[in-house]
Each structure stands twice: as structure tokens, then as C-alpha cells.
Amino acid sequence: MIAWTILPLVVVLSWLMTGALRRYALARSIIDVPNARSSHTIPTPRGGGVAIVVVFLLAIPFLSGFDLLQSDAAFALVGAGLGIALLGFLDDHGHVAARWRLLGHFLSAAWVLYWLGGLPAVMVFGHAVDVGWWGHAFALFYLVWLLNLYNFMDGIDGLASIEAISVCLGGALLYSLLNQQALAVLPISLACAVLGFLIWNFPPAKIFMGDAGSGFLGITLGVFSLQAAWISPSLFYGWLILLGVFIVDATATLLRRLLRGEKVYEAHRSHAYQYASRQYARHLPVTLGVLFINVLWLLPLACVVTLGLLDGALGLIIAYVPLVLLALKYRAGQAEIR
């Protein structure tokens, strides 16, 4: 049984460590200084996401005895998560060339697929589709894209934290609906670790997550979703629905920039959430708006799909269409007016 008494301690330790990292960042001048591409106006220390990584990984052995350490998902998570976090930490402290970062991302994704066994057959409108090695290749790029898009979407106060908490708690609910409560341990504990960080990151943020934290969250949520795919195809769709806001905004932005021939690896601020935060002149309404979408729209649909009351592919389309329209309304990927 999950040691529920550990979870409040996870929150407190994450909060304390984030505060310590803030003092460290200020002392070492690890600061995000606003520029023309920024969504903030005040120099702010970064790297607080390391607290999420350390506290979450340290908590795993204590959450359910040491059983979790023997699971393939734990090996996938710890190996890939540590690699991505270390790469992000080095980038936060200096600069790691894009090609080396990308190589590290693919190696970490390959590590995950080795332990999880790749991507199982998925149900598409009632038909099982097993694409073999093509499915594994898709899963590889899916993981790399998810960890990168999480970094792209970590651009305003509290957004990446709120997304992680709501998605993880939503995922835990989906497991409960299928009587898979044991699998809820990791998502709930990650949500608690992020909550401790959010206390410092809630608008107006006193510290930013940094690449170490955002990349770790991206790859971890990817592990959770692929693990879910092996349990039930409908559960995999449920996780994809829960991740909809970040997936749609980042993907729509990338595609529109590609179509214009822009260098997609260059910094920009043309995501829908960035345009929205400038329109409202505040981060808080956008961050809370994403929370409301996750809880009031995406979570109910994910529950219906997971219970088998709605086809997964159809549910995904129903969930994503309004998100695409919303992203276009807020000009996702549209060229900035200089």
C-alpha cells in the first residue's frame, strides 16, 4: 500500500529544496534576464526544477516499500529522467550545443523504449493496429517531442507546474477507474513534488523551473503514457487527452513556423499561451485558464474514453478540435509583429 504519509513530506522537501536552489542561483548569478523573446520582465533565478527531480526520485523507494524499484517503468524513468535532468542542468549553467542535447534526448527515449518494450498495438476506431518497428520509431519521436515541447511550453509563471499537477492527478484518477490504484503511486508523488516547487513558481514566480525540470517532466509524463498503453489502449488515449493543451499549442506553433520556413530551433515567443499572456498583460489568467481546461474539459473526456464509453481515437479528436481552434484564436505560430 502506498505510504500516504510520505506525500506531505514530498511537498515540504520540494518546497525547502526549491528555496535553497533559489539562494544558490542568486549567489551564482544563474538568472534569466528578460530580452525581446521573453514573456517576463523581471530578472529571475532559474533551475528550481532540480528540486522536483531530486525529491521525486528519492521518494520512489519509500512510496511502496521497494517494490517500485523492481519495475521496468522505474528503470525507464530513473535512467532517462536522470539523463535528461543532468543535460538540462548543464545547459542551465552554461550552454550545451543543440546537436548534443538532441542526441541525449534520443538516447534517453531509446532507454525508455528498451525497458517498456516499445509501443504496443493501439486501437484506431475499433481496429487493433500493430505497426511493429514503425510503432517503436513513432514512440521514439513521441518521447523526444514531448520532452522538448514541455521545455517550449515552460515560458510563463506556473504554467508547466499546473500542467504537470493536473495531468498527473488526472492520470491517477484514470488508473483508479480501472482498479489499477497501484499505478497511481508515481503520478501522485510527482504531482506532490511539483506542488512544492509551485509554491515558489506561482505567479509572480520567484524562481523558474529551468531545462532540468521541464525536460524531466516531459520525459516522465511520456513514460507514464507509454506505460499506460501497455495496460489498456483506452488508457493511453486518456493520457494523450490529458496532455492536450501542451501537445496542441506546441505542435500547432511548430507546424506554422515550419511552413513559413523559420528556424524552429531559434528562440521565439509565438506560442498561443505567450500571445495570450501578452494580451491579458498577466500570466495568472492564462495559467488558471489551462487548469480549467484540463479539469473541466479534458479530464471528463479522458474518463469517458478510459471507461470504454467512447472510442479512444474519436475521443481524442473531440478533445483536440476545440484546443486547435483556441490555439489558432490566440495566434499559435503566427509571425510576431516587430
Supply the pLDDT for residue 63: 75
Q: What amino acid is encoded at 267 in this protein?
A: A
d(CA 243, CA 297) in angstroms, rounded, equals 12
Cα distances (Å, whole numbers) of residue 185 to 21, 77, 82, 91: 26, 14, 19, 30
Torsion of CA 176, 184, 116, 190, to 10 degrees: 150
CB 194 within 8 A of CB 291: no
CA distances from 191 to 115, 163, 286, 288, 309 (A): 23, 10, 20, 17, 27
User: For position 338, what pLDDT does the model report?
Assistant: 55
- Dump pLDDT digits (tens) for 163-195: 999 999 999 999 999 998 888 989 999 999 999
- Tell me if the bond preceding 204 is cis, omega within 30° of 0: yes
What residue type is 77 in one-letter code? L
* Residue spans of the chain under pLDDT 70: 1-3, 35-38, 64-70, 337-338
pLDDT of residue 33: 77
Phi-psi region for residue 281, left (φ > 0), alpha (ψ -120 to 50) or beta? left
Report pTM: 0.94
pLDDT at 1: 47
Torsion region of 65: left, alpha or beta (phi above 0 gives left; psi -120 to 50 gives alpha): left
Quick check: 242 and 236 in contact, CB under 8 A?
no
Amino acid at 16: L
pLDDT at 75: 85
What pLDDT score was predicted for residue 173? 97
**pLDDT for position 133:** 79
* Other beta carbons within 10 Å of 128: 10
